[in-house]
Amino acid sequence: MEPKVVRKPSFHVIGYHFLVNLKEIEEQNIGEKALISLRENAHKIPNKKGEHVYLIQVYPMREYFNPYEDKFTQIIGYEVSELGEVPEGAIFYTVPEGTYVTTTHQGPESELYKTYDYLYGKWMTDHRCMPIGYDFELWDERYNPEEMDNEIDLFIAINK
């Protein structure tokens, strides 16, 4: 799927957050463990808008940031219609309204880095865009992490 630029309204999630780098995520299976915990506690999240999950990544805006070594905030949660009682250990987070480059990654999650590398590299250069510090993924019924039929919608906030 060819990337496109879209405008999205703000939305809210309730879920868990971590200050990590990609190396820690991979070595400690943080994402998989967080998803299991989130699903086990889904019944505790008020005003949930379906079973889809968002993975939000907020990066420090500094030159030479390397997500494999430098820490960033990762949030995994369910979209909610409004703030309700936040379960113990969870947070409420609002993703701001914004402009995003979006595409759908198709294939195993272990190859997701190729889609990110393309968007953050070639696509941004070709379209004279700059990222503004965060991105998110939508995991819905198409999310089958290591299967060939896996699909993940990516959204990178940009300055356009």
Task: Please name every residue paired with 72 in a beta bridge, in sequence order, or none if there are none.
Answer: 20
Calculate what percentage of the chain has a pLDDT beyond 70. Answer: 99
Q: How far apart are CA 30 and CA 119, in angstroms?
A: 24
Residue-level pLDDT at 137: 97
Task: Please name every residue paired with 151 in a beta bridge, in sequence order, or none if there are none.
Answer: 106
Exposed/middle/buried for 9, CB within 10 Å: 0-12, 13-18, 19+? exposed
Average pLDDT, the chain: 94
Interval 114-140: pLDDT, tens: 999 999 999 999 999 999 999 999 999
Name which CATH class applies to 4-158. alpha beta
Q: How far apart are CA 133 and CA 158, in angstroms?
A: 8
Q: Which of 16, 2, 26 is nearest to 54 (CA)?
A: 16
Interval 11-56: pLDDT, tens: 999 999 999 998 999 899 888 899 999 999 999 999 999 999 999 9
**The two three-digit tokens of residue 100, written as one number:** 């995003």
- The domain spans of the chain are 4-158
